[in-house]
């Protein structure tokens, strides 16, 4: 459907395959000799994807680094524009910069935008609905992705019950039960350390475990001596994420882990999403919880 249309808005919840499709589409057009611009907001996602698609005709960039990336490749215009996590780039400044460098512009040029404006739209600022409407005025095909291909049924059901969010048709596989721990800040380091020991005893590999938090590593439960002295935890950064997954347990702030996933996700440093103050951070819970492929754990304060 994407290849049959010169412009498309492809929407879907987390786990429905947006990034996978965006990367595959970019690879196919590069193979055809087209100059492709692949844009995303997150420098982390850009670094992560850079190990998956390495072609001269492909410029993998963020809006902030695009001018420099174009100069390095001596490219002034692109045949194809692909945007992943499009909800983060629904802003006037992005439109004004992109339009002149796309052959035939946004009005008549070839572009494909993958987005989740309903659930993942506030971690990098609120998207401008007017910009989405402007893209729609260019008469793109609108393609919805409705099947969650990442999360097990148990994870999907827990997300929907905890957050009240529909994340699409659920996966057939039931998977492990979600593990939720309601505790205090004082007890949480011991609970996290014990949880990691339990996972290792169950045969879970350290490389498949990522701890996610809304705060940086040094302010997180993961940095508590009770946890860090007994477990080797690697805080990810823009460079280290290129080599993800690592051999050890990894840590990331939730906002940087968009578009990335791991088998086991442990959420920390957050109150239960059912607490009224937590409702204002629903995108943070949603992104964090949907990163888990096989097992989701959460330590609510």
pLDDT at 57 over 90: no
Bridge partners of residue 59, in order along the sequence: 37
The 10s digit of each residue's pLDDT in 25-36 is 999 999 999 999
Total-model pTM: 0.85
Same domain flag for 204 and 249: yes
pLDDT in the model for residue 147: 87
Q: What average pLDDT is seen over the chain? A: 89
Question: Does some domain include residue 241?
Answer: yes
pLDDT in the model for residue 126: 60
Same domain flag for 130 and 177: no
pLDDT at 173 over 80: no
Residue 40: burial class (beta carbons within 10 Å; 0-12, 13-18, 19+): buried
Q: Which of 90, 124, 145 is the last residue of a domain?
A: 145
Q: Which of 86, 117, 145 is the last residue of a domain?
A: 145
CB 198 within 8 A of CB 206: no
Q: How confident is the model at residue 163 (pLDDT cuts 50, 70, 90)?
A: confident
Q: How confident is the model at residue 60 (pLDDT cuts 50, 70, 90)?
A: very high
CA 147 to chain centre: 17
Question: Does some domain include residue 2?
Answer: no
Question: Does some domain include residue 264?
Answer: yes
Q: How confident is the model at residue 144 (pLDDT cuts 50, 70, 90)?
A: very high
Q: Count the neighbouring beta carbons within 10 Å of the beta carbon of residue 228.
A: 17
pLDDT at 55 over 90: no
| DSSP one-letter string for 103-131 | TTHHHHSEEEEEE-TTTS-SBTB---HHH
Give me the percent of the chain exceeding a pLDDT of 90. Answer: 64
pLDDT at 127 over 70: no
What is d(CA 122, CA 119) in angstroms, rounded to the nearest whole number? Answer: 8
pLDDT in the model for residue 275: 77
Residue 263: burial class (beta carbons within 10 Å; 0-12, 13-18, 19+): middle
The 10s digit of each residue's pLDDT in 246-287 is 899 999 999 999 889 999 999 999 998 887 666 567 888 989
pLDDT at 180 over 70: yes
Q: Which two tokens stand for residue 218?
A: 């040094």
Tell me which residue of 145, 60, 127 sits closest to 87, measured CA to CA.
Answer: 127
pLDDT in the model for residue 54: 73
CATH number for the domain spanning 110: value is: 3.40.50.300
pLDDT at 143 over 70: yes
What is d(CA 134, CA 125) in angstroms, rounded to the nearest whole number? Answer: 19
Q: Which of 114, 145, 176 is the last residue of a domain?
A: 145
Same domain flag for 109 and 175: no
pLDDT in the model for residue 33: 93
The 10s digit of each residue's pLDDT in 75-96 is 999 999 999 988 888 888 888 8
pLDDT at 221 over 60: yes
What is d(CA 196, CA 199) in angstroms, rounded to the nearest whole number? Answer: 5
Q: How confident is the model at residue 157 (pLDDT cuts 50, 70, 90)?
A: confident
Who has greater pLDDT, 122 or 251? 251
Same domain flag for 132 and 246: no
Question: Does some domain include residue 44?
Answer: yes
Question: Does some domain include residue 21?
Answer: yes
Question: Does some domain include residue 95?
Answer: yes
Domain span holding position 286: 153-300
CB 12 within 8 A of CB 18: yes
The strands making up 179-182's β-sheet, listed across from edge to edge, are 179-182, 292-300, 262-270, 209-213, 249-253, 233-235
Question: Does some domain include residue 287?
Answer: yes
pLDDT at 124 over 80: no
What is d(CA 1, CA 127) in angstroms, rounded to the nearest whole number? Answer: 26
Residue 184: burial class (beta carbons within 10 Å; 0-12, 13-18, 19+): exposed
Name the 3-class secondary structure at 173.
Answer: coil
Q: How confident is the model at residue 170 (pLDDT cuts 50, 70, 90)?
A: low
- The residues near 55 (Cβ < 8 Å, ≥ 6 apart) are 27, 30
The 10s digit of each residue's pLDDT in 184-216 is 999 999 999 999 999 999 999 999 999 999 999
Question: Does some domain include residue 1?
Answer: no
């Amino acid at each position: 459907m994407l290849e049959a249309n010169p412009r498309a808005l492809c929407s879907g919840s987390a786990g429905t395959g947006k990034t996978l499709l965006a990367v595959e589409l970019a690879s196919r057009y590069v193979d055809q000799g087209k100059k492709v611009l692949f844009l995303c907001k997150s420098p982390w996602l850009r670094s992560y994807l850079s190990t998956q698609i390495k072609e001269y005709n492909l410029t993998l960039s963020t809006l902030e680094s695009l001018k420099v990336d174009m100069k390095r490749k001596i490219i002034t215009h692109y045949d194809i524009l692909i945007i992943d996590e499009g909800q983060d780039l629904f802003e006037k400044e992005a439109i004004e910069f992109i339009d002149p460098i796309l052959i035939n512009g946004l009005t008549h040029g070839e572009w494909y935008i993958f987005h989740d404006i309903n659930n993942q739209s506030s971690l990098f600022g609120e998207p401008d609905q007017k910009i989405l409407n402007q893209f729609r005025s260019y008469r793109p095909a609108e393609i919805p992705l409705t099947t969650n291909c990442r999360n097990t049924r148990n994870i999907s059901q827990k997300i929907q019950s905890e957050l009240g969010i529909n994340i699409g048709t659920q996966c057939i596989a039931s998977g492990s039960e979600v593990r939720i721990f309601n505790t205090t800040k004082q007890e949480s380091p011991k609970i996290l350390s014990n949880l990691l020991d339990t996972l290792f005893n169950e045969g879970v590999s350290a490389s498949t475990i990522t701890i996610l938090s809304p705060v940086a590593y040094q302010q997180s439960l993961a940095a508590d001596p009770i946890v860090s002295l007994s477990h080797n935890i690697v805080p990810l950064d823009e460079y280290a994420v290129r080599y993800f997954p690592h051999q050890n347990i990894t840590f990331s702030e939730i906002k940087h882990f968009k578009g990335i996933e791991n088998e086991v996700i442990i959420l920390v440093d957050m109150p239960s999403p059912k607490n009224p103050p937590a409702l204002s951070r629903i995108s943070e819970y949603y992104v964090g919880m949907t990163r888990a492929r096989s097992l989701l754990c959460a330590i609510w304060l």
